[in-house]
Amino acid sequence: MSRHITAWAAGILALSAHATSPLPLSGPLLPLTSQHSANTPGWRFVGLPNKPDVSATRFELGQVEGVAGVQMRTDQSYGTWAHDWRGTAGTLQWRWRLDQALSGGQRPADLRRKDGDDAALKVCVMFDHPLDRVPFGERTLLRVARSVTGENLPAATVCYLWDPLQAQNTTAANPYSRRVRYVVVQGTGAPTQRWLSESRDVAQDFLKLFGDELPAGSTRTGVPPVTAVVIGADSDNTQARSSGWVAQVQWR
């Protein structure tokens, strides 16, 4: 049972476990501030917990084409940066560019499968989603997972992905856990080695992805508070490599 719970929680735990790193990312990413925010602490590194054999994704401050940002390079690795920001879901903006898609792996990348669940670029938002809105079976698993891992795993996470293998605007649940659901913002045919600007109505996306767990007719006022924003890249499942950039993450 413990092994099953750990596997089920992996997709959530990887985004929410705590770790530290001295890299100051607030400059190129911008502090997440808003008149609706209660506090605005800085960014922190998050690795894959209890997996010492998995290398950490490399994050380096830099500049390309005049834009200061964070370069994320994977090599059979996992890593994210999280900003513990609590406030009302609004419009999240950022810039990103994919220089090298996942390649050279032992297994093909496929976000629909556990053994292919890797992303060269992702921006995720976590929510304080009430447990009583989570389906009973998943609610029970989540409670047990929180107890087993000792982490306050979020009950709902929306991830924005860059995935050259899926069509733009594809939506689905993470193969490890339906507590994480995603939107392919840049998909098949998206230009590489070029900065692209994004602007997402996070509340509207939550309603689209988790609306099945809200009362009928719910509007954006029923969307739970945001608890964190996460950026990252991973290739530990496919054993591949990738390279990309993220910059200027901010709430409008």
Q: What is the pLDDT of residue 61?
A: 85
Tell me the per-residue pLDDT of 227-236, one tens digit each, with 9 for 90 and over: 999 999 999 9
Q: What is the pLDDT of residue 20?
A: 39
Q: What is the pLDDT of residue 64?
A: 94
Which residues in the chain come in under a pLDDT of 50? 1-9, 17-26, 33-40
Tell me the per-residue pLDDT of 40-74, one tens digit each, with 9 for 90 and over: 457 888 877 667 788 999 998 889 999 988 899 99
- The DSSP line for the chain is -HHHHHHHHHHHHHHH---------HHHH-----TT-SB---EEEE--TT-TTSEEPEEEEEEETTEEEEEEEEESEEEEEEE--BB---EEEEEEEEEEEEES-SS---TTSGGG--EEEEEEEEE---GGGS-HHHHHHHHHHHHHH-S---SEEEEEEE-TTS-TT-EEE-SS-TTEEEEEEE-TTPPSSS-EEEEEEHHHHHHHHHGGGS-TT--GGGSPPEEEEEEEEE-TTTT-EEEEEEEEEEE-
Domain ranges of the chain: 2-251
Q: What is the pLDDT of residue 46?
A: 82
Q: What is the pLDDT of residue 94?
A: 94
* Prediction pTM value: 0.85
For domain 2-251, say whether CATH 3.20.20 is its number: no
